[in-house]
Structure 1
Amino acid sequence: MSLNKIVGYYKSWDPTSPTPENIDRAYNYIIYAFLSVDNHGNLDFHGDEGVNINTIRRLRSFNSGRKLLLSVGGWNVGSVKFSNIAADRRKVETMADSALSLMQQYGFDGLDIDWEYPAQNGGSPADRHNFVTMLRIIRNKFARWGSYLLTIAVSPLANPSSYDIRSIADSVDFINVMTYDFHQASQGRTGHNAPLYASSSDSQWEKENSNCKVAIQKWCCEAPPSKIVMGLAFYGQRYRLTSGSKGVGAPAQGASEDTMTYKQIAGLRWTKCWDSYSKVPYKYSANEWIGYDDADSIAEKVRFARANRLGGVMVWTINDDNGDLIRAIKSA
């Protein structure tokens, strides 16, 4: 069984963004990240439509069946603004109208909502219900104007206080599960950014929550697998080692830069190791350590997605690849 969707997020703010002819035709969904949203629900391009919007619209000429979506939100927007909008039907209507206007003006096919995360990060307990209401309002408005897509990006934790998964699944075309950022330097030890399976150094809670397999299983318990799109990280999490240990779970603290793109990591002439438990690699040199994905681990994840009959895979982000990882996706 082949995957129906290879979804790629495109970082609009990246000065090294690939030109349309350099983006692989295998990406049949490209999501432009990110629109801004004001307190009333109005969406905007941050004033960069003169450069990046015209560029990304040209992508259709390299794949006639490709769908282009606009994404609103992201980590920097947080939760409070979405929480306030979702609680007010008029603001949700404004957001839907604003999205329709931009999609019609610039020739996009849909909207992706990246709310990180309902009922968390300063949000309200009412977000769980209001998020569903928001999606239904937008879905219904889109349906009156054509076949516009509605998608969302969600936490891998499938937190029941944040998500009414069955109701969400009924309202969207597909769900991008952000199966990465599972381990970070604040935990005081090294850990894989996006392990497919649990590591031998994981706590019991981590084994039950902090890997791609368990995250996808939780989402698939209440949503059709065909609507679940598994996230693939084209970047890695960096650490500074604080002891002589070099492996997974070694004492560590944050590095001067928290992350590196795969393009950068591929050029590092550090010692490379493979975690046979988690099916992902890591590299180290002196007191530097990074957990990331390479072509082999990406292929493992694509095979996992196929075996579990998922709708597809999602890449964060197209910009961060040197070509190795999209080739691995296609090969697998």
Structure 2
Amino acid sequence: MRPYLFLFLLGIVLFFATCRKKDTTPTPSTPVVPGCTSLLAPANGGFVTTTSVTLSWNAVSTASSYDVYLGTTPSPTTLVGNAVSGTTHTVSIPATPNVTYYWYVVPRNTTGPASGCASGARSFTYIVISMPVSLGYHVVGYFPSYRSLADVPDIKFRMTNVVVYAFYQVNSAGSLLAPGSATAPLAAVATKARSNNAKILLGINDGSGDGKTNFKNMAASPQGRTNFIRDIMNVVRTNQLDGVDMDWEFPTTSDGTDVTFTSLMQELADSLHRDGRYYLSCAITAGKYAGGIRDAIRNELFPIVDFFNIMAYDDFSTTTPYRHHSDYALASLCLNYWINTRGMPAAKAVLGIPAYGRPSGITQSNTVLSYRNILSQGGNAQLDSAIVSAGTFTNYTIYYNGQYTVKRKAKLSKDIAAGVMFWEKWQDATDGQSLLKAACDTVGRSY
């Protein structure tokens, strides 16, 4: 009996021993040292325009916090963020332009910090984007590459405070192309402008022949715009120019080029306005006629473009006689539209004046004459029309701006706008009958 009792008791003991709840709590393990993180923003080699800069990076799963280092050497040792719990950290930097900063992040946990993260440091540069000093009352004169520089005396350059070299072009590949056979090279025109205290701007138009196709294709993509702006800045810096004048004739809302034109101008302005160094202007439609071309000049452009050359001319008709293509009424209408209706700052509105004449009611082919040629055929410098001959057309009436009208326009632009622009310098007379002289004398500009 006793053996059975012993076995019974032993079974009870074993039963309760195996049914007792086991302790499943594991022994704590030591965490693995985290690896380095990847940095997100600012973009490596990019630019910032504020002194408060937010640095961001990707999270590391094994990290409990992050140390942030920043400095002006490629391997910074200054700890600017200690045990940061998140994946962003904002730092304040001095307002000193063109200083490059380097930064990196070290993830850490209770075991220790990641190693080797300094080798992944990234950089950004603080820059200031601002408009250059105002030119006051603008007297702008275009100088085409196909004209003879010797035909235009120095005094005509002293009369203008801005000379636009016309033109470099955007080609079918979206690159910037110099004129193929320039009678007046850019370097020579720039030298003459500078020696006469005038700013020299690079005029750019479309090389396709229609004024717009190559611009449209180039500006359609961010990369196309970036490459084109890089070309522009290289020419501007290499030739020590003072800025750029954009002559896209014309973007329009009907095909979306109003959007890409605005983007191009905004991005170009950022490059030209770094440290307030270079000017940006553009030639725009007169504004008389409603539609997609006029509306393509969006109000977003007003704060970023330094001045607008309003082409208040070429309002001609090949069927209606006795119509002036650029009378005083058109000038007044254009300035009123852009300044009062659209809200363009008056200090940026420059009134375009033609130094040539057009007929009315007949073809414009081979019948358009320069102001100097009109005078050579007996035209009166104080009037706005004359009887001339050109090509196969004889004794037809041509309409132009004489000195009296130019003085009125110069006075108007001084009263309510910011200056006058002439297309183009070579077409003007070189003596006392000069249109540039009439404008300068009216507004008191010395030369």
TM > 0.5 fold call:
yes
Opposite residue 331 of structure 1, the aligned amino acid is D
1:3-42 counterparts in 2 under 5 A? 4-15=137-148, 18-19=151-152, 21-42=154-175
* Corresponding position of 1:215: 334
What are the superposed Cα offsets for residues 263-303 of structure 1, whole Å, 9 maximum, x if unpaired? 00112236x698xxxxx621126741100011111001001
**Distance in 2, Cα, partners of 1:258 & 1:79:** 25
1:288–1:6 CA distance, 2 compared to 1 (3 A): same
**Distance in 2, Cα, partners of 1:255 & 1:164:** 27
1:169-208 counterparts in 2 under 5 A? 169-185=302-318, 187-197=319-329
Kept after mapping to 2: 8 A contact 1:34/1:45 = yes
Equivalent residue for 2:411, pick from 303, 316, 320: 303
Kept after mapping to 2: 8 A contact 1:195/1:212 = yes
Secondary structure of 1:307's counterpart equals helix
**Distance in 2, Cα, partners of 1:322 & 1:273:** 10
Deviation at 1:171, TM superposition (A): 1.9
* Corresponding position of 1:143: 273
**Distance in 1, Cα, partners of 2:210 & 2:229:** 18
Q: Could you tell me which runs of 5 or more consecutive residues in structure 2 were left unpaired when the two chains were aligned.
A: 1-134, 389-393, 443-447
Which piece of structure 1 moves more, 15-24 or 35-44? 15-24
- The reply to whether residue 326 of structure 1 matches residue 419 of structure 2 is no
Equivalent residue for 2:397, pick from 273, 289, 295: 289
1:19–1:328 CA distance, 2 compared to 1 (3 A): closer
**Distance in 2, Cα, partners of 1:322 & 1:16:** 14
Deviation at 1:77, TM superposition (A): 4.5
Kept after mapping to 2: 8 A contact 1:298/1:328 = yes
Equivalent residue for 1:228, pick from 338, 345, 349: 349
Bigger Rg, which one? 2
Opposite residue 269 of structure 1, the aligned amino acid is G
Kept after mapping to 2: 8 A contact 1:282/1:291 = yes
- The reply to whether residue 80 of structure 1 matches residue 210 of structure 2 is no
Deviation at 1:232, TM superposition (A): 0.7
Which piece of structure 1 moves more, 48-57 or 320-329? 48-57
TM-score norm. by structure 1 comes to 0.80
Opposite residue 440 of structure 2, the aligned amino acid is K
1:255–1:98 CA distance, 2 compared to 1 (3 A): closer
Equivalent residue for 1:154, pick from 284, 290, 296: 284
**Distance in 2, Cα, partners of 1:220 & 1:7:** 19
When the two chains are superposed, the root-mean-square deviation of aligned CA atoms in Å is 2.6
**Distance in 2, Cα, partners of 1:273 & 1:146:** 41
- The reply to whether residue 90 of structure 1 matches residue 211 of structure 2 is no
1:100–1:131 CA distance, 2 compared to 1 (3 A): same
* Corresponding position of 1:249: none
Indicate the percent of aligned positions where both proteins have the same amino acid. Answer: 22
Deviation at 1:160, TM superposition (A): 5.5
1:37–1:20 CA distance, 2 compared to 1 (3 A): farther
**Distance in 2, Cα, partners of 1:133 & 1:267:** 46
**Distance in 2, Cα, partners of 1:20 & 1:44:** 28
Kept after mapping to 1: 8 A contact 2:280/2:307 = yes
**Distance in 2, Cα, partners of 1:4 & 1:227:** 10
* Corresponding position of 1:70: 202
1:128–1:61 CA distance, 2 compared to 1 (3 A): closer
Deviation at 1:41, TM superposition (A): 2.6
- The reply to whether residue 316 of structure 1 matches residue 423 of structure 2 is yes
1:137–1:3 CA distance, 2 compared to 1 (3 A): closer
1:145–1:97 CA distance, 2 compared to 1 (3 A): farther
1:19–1:96 CA distance, 2 compared to 1 (3 A): same
